[in-house]
Amino acid sequence: MTGRAPWVLDNAGYLSAARHVPSPNCDDRPDGAAIELLVVHNISLPPGEFGGSGIIDLFTNRLDPGEHPYYRDIASAKVSSHFLIRRNGELIQFVPCNRRAWHAGQSEWRGRARCNDFSIGVELEGTDDRDFGEAQYEILARLAFVLLGAYPIKECIGHSDIAMPYGRKTDPGPHFEWPRFREMLSQRNQ
């Protein structure tokens, strides 16, 4: 990509291109846990609304339960993700890649439980029933390319593919275009 500064991932797993907003909702990965999975999610707070502070507030334990009726049930949740890609393509990092973010919940991938132990979580600001934007696909592909070069990631999947019991989660949803994302990623490898 000519004219763009390279994205650098430091030894702790912080990405130079991201705005860093530290989340306390993380911990150390188990000893010897290799990062083998990239998990794509979607989130909007309040549901169906974009651009506000709700997602950041949730991941940093500052969500005000009185601000919106939906927040009453989730304000005490201790959750996070490594990255968030806003509708406009802004990239925010909450947890360094070398630490375990709390994004997958009860999960299983190819017979292995506790996917948080060996995955990186990327949230797309969005919902199951709306298309994602071009900027989001471009940033996600560029991010995935960097992560695939830095870690032994074997697969990029959706939260719905690992959430246990199956059917508990539906994100990134039917409007996420997996073939488009994989094509963008393959073009970066050429």
pLDDT of residue 190: 57
Strand partners of residue 122: 40, 83
Residue 5, pLDDT score: 83
pLDDT for position 93: 98
155 phi/psi in degrees, rounded to 5: -160, 150
3-class DSSP string for 14-35: CECCCEECCCCCEEECCCCCCC
- Tell me, what's the pLDDT at 1? 39
Do the beta carbons of residue 87 and residue 126 sit within 8 Å? yes
Distance CA 185, CA 105 (A): 27
| Complete domains list, the chain, with CATH | 19-188 (3.40.80.10)
What is the rounded distance in angstroms from the CA atom of residue 75 to the CA atom of residue 14?
Answer: 27
Q: What is the pLDDT of residue 189?
A: 66
pLDDT in tens, 91-110: 999 999 999 999 999 999 99
pLDDT in the model for residue 164: 86
pLDDT at 2: 41
- Could you say which residues of the chain have pLDDT below 70? 1-3, 189-190
Give me the active site residues, please.
123
